[in-house]
Each structure stands twice: as C-alpha cells, then as structure tokens.
Amino acid sequence: MPNYTVDKESDTPLYMQIRTNIEEAILTGDLKPGDKLPSVTCLAKDIGVTQATVRRALQDLGKAGHTSCTVGRGTFIQDAALTQEEKQQDTSGQKYQTTPSSKNFRPLTEDSREFAARRLRTGVGKALSDIMSLAERPGIIHLTRGVPDPGLLPESFLQNVTAETFKNSENELLEATDPLGRYDLRQEIADRFSQRGTIVTPEQVLITNGSMQGITLVAQANLASRHNVICETPCYKGIPDAFSAMGQWVETITRDAQGPMPSLQDRFPNGNPFLLYLCPYVHNPMGTSISQERYSMVVDWAKRTGSLVLADEIFRDLCFDDAPQPSLLQELGAEQTVVVSSLSKSVMTGLRLGWLISSPQRVQQLAELKRTMDHSCASLIQGLALNIFKSGRFDAHTKKMQATYKRRRATLIKVLDKYMPKKISWTEPDGGYSMLLELPRGYSSVSMFLCAIEKGVSILPGPLFDIDHRFVHCFRISYAWANEEQIKEGIELLASAVETFLSRPPGDSGLGGIDSYQ
C-alpha cells in the first residue's frame, strides 16, 4: 500500500513530499502502470492537506510523465517507458490524437520525437536484456561478468568479518542508524578520501545501499533543481535509466579512451547549468581513465557553466597504478561535485554498501530523500564495512585484486594480439577487469554476440552501454571471473567467431540511433 503521509514539520514543501511519496511507490512497484490514484478530495482528506496542495503534486507528476489524467475517469499511473503523453495539444488548446489513423494526425513535433526516442531507447534495452539469457547456456566461457571474482576473497572471509563485528559492536547493530549512516563509518570514509589530497569531513558523507542508490537520490533531487542531464556514452546503462525513471530526458556526450569528447563544450555552451555524469577512473566499459587534457576540459566547462558533476569513482580502488588525475571534487569543490562509490566492485556485490560525498548542505538534502526510501542502511552491513576497513582487510584485498587483474589483463592483451583479426581494435585498461573492442563500422555487436555464443563464448553488445546506440559496432569483454587459462581459450574461440563474422558483408543492425539527438 503506497504511503501518502507527510511531515508537516519538515522544511520540504508538502506538495513535494506527496510527489516524492508517489514517485517512490512507482519505483518500488507499489503503484503499477494502469493503477488509479485516489481522487483529489480523498487524498487531501486522508493526508490532511488542502486540495490545492494535492493538485500541485499531481500536476508535477503529470509533467514528469508519471501520471495521466482523464476528465471523468481520474488520474492513472503511466508506463515508465511512456513518459510523454500520447496526445499533443495545439495553440488553440484542442487535443489531437497522434496516431496515424486519426484524421487530426499532426506531423512530428520536438516533443513527439523525444517521445519516440524514449520508446526506442527503452525497447532496445529490454530486447537486448532478453537475449542475454542465451549466455547462460551450459559450457559457455563467460567474458561478460563485470563484478569481482568471489574466489579471490580469503577463505572464510565473510564468516570472520561477521564474527569480529558481532564481538566488537553487537549492541550497535540492534537499532537503525541515522539516515546519514554510522558516524564512525562516515569518518573512516572521509579520512580515506582526505588522504588523497582533498579534505573531506564526515558531514560530507552519506552512506547508501550501493552506489546506485546514491545516483538515484541525485536523480530524484534533480527533479527540483531541473538541471538538464548529460551522461557520457558508453556507460553503465543503469545511470541514464535512473534519470529516465524520474521522467528526465538524458542527453549524451560520446566518450573515447581519453574521456568525454571535446564536443562537450560546443554542444552544451554557457547557459543553464547542467548535471554531467562521468566515470573518471577505470571507466566501464572501456577500462581507461580520464586524461589530463580531458580532465582540464571538464573542469573548465563545469566552472564556466556552473554545472554539477556526478563523478562515479566505483572503480578507483582497482587502478593498477596511482589514479592519473585527482578527484574532480578537489578542483571543482563540493558545491559542484557529487562523488559516488561503493564496495561492490572492490570487495563483493552482496554487501550493497556505498557512499556519496558532496557539500554538507546537499548531503543533508539527499539524506531527507533517503529517509523516505529506507530510513537508513542496515546496521549490520555498515558494521561489516567498518570492520573491513579498520582491520586492514580492504587494503590487503584490493592490493591482491590489482595484482591478479593486472596479470589477467596482460594475458588477455597477449592472446588478443596473437589471435584476433587485425581489423579489430581494443582499449587497454588502466585497472579493473573490462575492456571495449571495436568491430569495423557497419557490423553489429548484437549479431556478433549470437555468433560468439555459437562458438561457446559470451560478450556484452555495445548497445547495453549506450542508450543512443552509437556503439553498435563495439562490445565489452571482462576478465573478472575468467582465469588465465579460460581467457586464452575464450579469446581463441572469440577470434574464430569474429573471423567467421567478418567474412560476410556487414548487415543492417537496426540500431542506428536517432539522428535528431546525435
């Protein structure tokens, strides 16, 4: 049952609280597409607010594409993939259907092109997710997994950490913490970040359930600030999806091995501030870190436009050498930067412990939003994380991972050089366990995926990392779970599949993208 209650003592306006509660109910599935909301009168009475307050909340939800209102029927939840109304309105105020069968059909407008682009983005992503189940066939060598190999953890790692945590701080695990998280854990993260040259205090740290919760909180807060969103592409598709789920349109800026392309400055010049997402260190899926030139470009652009940079540092602890550039927080300051990270890529995905670093004011604002989601992260998980840091396990484990993955990368590049056709190029990772390979233009990595599966090896097609489908000819491989022998065998099979694939002329991938949004 959705929670419509509000805190009348909060500084957050009542209509915003109502809007946020309904958005959270949509995200959690308590409200599904087609569900009807109570009437304005009933909501106002149940919540204890005026009807005008409820109408303002519903108006915002409608503009964001979360709901649709039909006179005489009520207000209904929209499908997340259909965030624009399928009806357009002309200057006279009369509504026209935009279906081809309507006698009042109008040519495509900017809004309807955006609506069509949203549907294509969502539809392609769903279709690709469906075919990825083919990679689970028996006997497949997996070059797809982008999470740390649990086999690299010391024996009885979790059991020992849990036992120590209960022994040392059992009483602190019995109750929920403040939405900000345990102070001693925030202090530990602040101290570690400060050792890199940027002084951070515990008041600047928010503990989250994984880095994606931090990104989702930023996306939710952006509903109020209304910054235009830019994501580098390719990138982990969950990032633009988090903003799209809030009804926000996401622009993209192409990234190469050095970082976001210089066209960032021309496409998004001075004007309203933007919100830019990028992964500066050990980028997913390329594995490369931002260069000094691109780093300086992003800093200059952000300062000139007054934009907020969302820096995803989740792979920073897996750099094979020292990170080439300082955190963007150091150059831009906490007012213009949000840093997110977690233990998911450096220790284990099951911990779901992440953090967010920004200004104390923004952290407090996001903590209030977090309170409506889950109040706070699990005390037990926070206790385990603190133990992992304090005991020295984190530093020892990440050092081991760096050495292991550096050897696997060397093996991977060696066998790529030996077996892969010369028409194929690839990035050379600065850390982590992923790299991006490029087919000749015109060839589809989706078709390549099917060919590879037939040979007994799996890859991840480029469109899984690119909502605008500019990287259809690229694919990611990962050496996270594959040992050196599996890497050798897997790449030999993959090279054979590529050679067979390239022996035929390129075909139409069907994923050419939307020219209007290039």
- Tell me what percent of the residues of the chain surpass a pLDDT of 70: 87
Buried b (16+ CB within 10 A) or exposed e, 451-471: bbbebbbbbbbbbbbbbbbbb
378 falls in which pLDDT band (50, 70, 90)? very high
Q: Are residues 336 and 232 in the same domain?
A: yes
Give domain status of residue 37, yes or no: yes
Q: Which residue pairs, CB below 8 angstroms and at least 24 apart, start in 43-51? A: 43/4, 43/18, 46/4, 47/4, 47/5, 47/6, 47/18, 48/6, 48/8, 49/6, 49/14, 49/18
Of 366, 348, 323, 372, nearest to 215 by C-alpha is 366
Instruction: Tell whether the model's pLDDT for residue 218 goes beyond 90.
Output: yes
Q: Please give the average per-residue pLDDT across 187-191, as a whole number.
A: 98
User: Of 391, 421, 437, at which residue does a domain stop?
Assistant: 391
Q: Are residues 176 and 270 in the same domain?
A: yes
The enclosing domain of 168 has a CATH number of 3.40.640.10
Q: Residues 231, 236, 238, 242: what is their CA dihedral angle, to the nearest 10 degrees? A: -20
The rounded distance, in Å, linking the Cα atoms of 508 and 135 is 23
123 falls in which pLDDT band (50, 70, 90)? low
Of 279, 257, 252, 429, nearest to 340 by C-alpha is 279
Q: Are residues 146 and 161 in the same domain?
A: no
Q: Please give the average per-residue pLDDT across 179-185, as a whole number.
A: 96
What is the token pair recorded at 505?
Answer: 């002329």
CA 119 to chain centre: 19
Tell me whether strands 308-312 and 274-278 are parallel, antiparallel or unpaired: parallel
Q: Are residues 222 and 369 in the same domain?
A: yes
Q: Is 511 or 29 the better-scoring residue by pLDDT?
A: 29
**Structural domain count of the chain:** 3
Strand (E) positions, 267-395? 274-278, 308-312, 337-342, 354-357
Q: Are residues 363 and 446 in the same domain?
A: no
Give the pLDDT confidence score for residue 120 in this predicted structure.
55
**Per residue, what are the HEC states of 90-108?**
CCCCCEEECCCCCCCCCCC
What is the token pair recorded at 110?
Answer: 């900017």
Q: Are residues 378 and 241 in the same domain?
A: yes
Of 429, 461, 443, 428, nearest to 499 by C-alpha is 443
Q: Is 231 helix (H, G, I), strand (E, B) or coil?
A: strand
Give domain status of residue 114, yes or no: no
Q: Please give the average per-residue pLDDT across 302-319, as a whole number.
A: 96
Give the domain extent around 482.
119-151+395-502
56-60, 266-270, 386-390: which is most confident: 386-390
Q: Are residues 166 and 130 in the same domain?
A: no
The rounded distance, in Å, linking the Cα atoms of 326 and 193 is 11
Q: Please give the average per-residue pLDDT across 401-423, as a whole number.
A: 97
Name 379's Cβ contacts closer than 8 Å, sequence gap at least 6.
172, 173, 174, 175, 176, 177, 182
Q: Are residues 229 and 374 in the same domain?
A: yes
Q: Are residues 375 and 460 in the same domain?
A: no
Q: Please give the average per-residue pLDDT across 94-101, as a whole number.
A: 35
Instruction: Tell whether the model's pLDDT for residue 84 goes beyond 80.
Output: no
Q: Where are the alpha helices (DSSP H) in 249-359?
A: 263-267, 292-305, 328-332
Give domain status of residue 93, yes or no: no
Decide: residue 359, CB within 10 A, 0-12 exposed, 13-18 middle, 19+ buried. Answer: middle
Give domain status of residue 515, yes or no: no
119 falls in which pLDDT band (50, 70, 90)? low
Give the pLDDT confidence score for residue 106 in this predicted structure.
34
322 falls in which pLDDT band (50, 70, 90)? confident
Helix axes 445-455, 110-131, angle to 10 degrees: 0
Question: pTM of the predicted model, to two decimals?
Answer: 0.75
User: Of 349, 369, 391, at which residue does a domain stop?
Assistant: 391
Q: Would you report the helix, strand and coil content of the chain in percent, each value rounded to 5? A: 45, 15, 40
Give the pLDDT confidence score for residue 469 in this predicted structure.
84
Give domain status of residue 108, yes or no: no
Give the pLDDT confidence score for residue 124 in this predicted structure.
60
| Residue type at position 274 | F
Q: pLDDT, tens digit, for every residue of 140-168?
A: 899 999 999 999 999 999 999 999 999 98
Give domain status of residue 313, yes or no: yes
Q: Are residues 286 and 354 in the same domain?
A: yes
Give domain status of residue 107, yes or no: no
Q: Are residues 443 and 424 in the same domain?
A: yes
Contact 370, 181 (CB under 8 A): no
What is the token pair recorded at 84?
Answer: 């624009």
Give the pLDDT confidence score for residue 168 in this predicted structure.
85
Instruction: Tell whether the model's pLDDT for residue 173 goes beyond 90.
Output: no
Q: Is 191 or 109 the better-scoring residue by pLDDT?
A: 191
DSSP states of 440-452? PTT--HHHHHHHH
Give the pLDDT confidence score for residue 353 in this predicted structure.
97
What is the token pair recorded at 107?
Answer: 């040519």
Neighbours of 139 (CB within 10 A): 5
The enclosing domain of 62 has a CATH number of 1.10.10.10
Give the pLDDT confidence score for residue 203 in this predicted structure.
98
Q: Please give the average per-residue pLDDT across 175-201, as a whole number.
A: 95
The rounded distance, in Å, linking the Cα atoms of 450 and 459 is 9
The enclosing domain of 412 has a CATH number of 3.90.1150.10
Q: Are residues 265 and 343 in the same domain?
A: yes
User: Of 362, 391, 420, at which residue does a domain stop?
Assistant: 391
Give domain status of residue 223, yes or no: yes
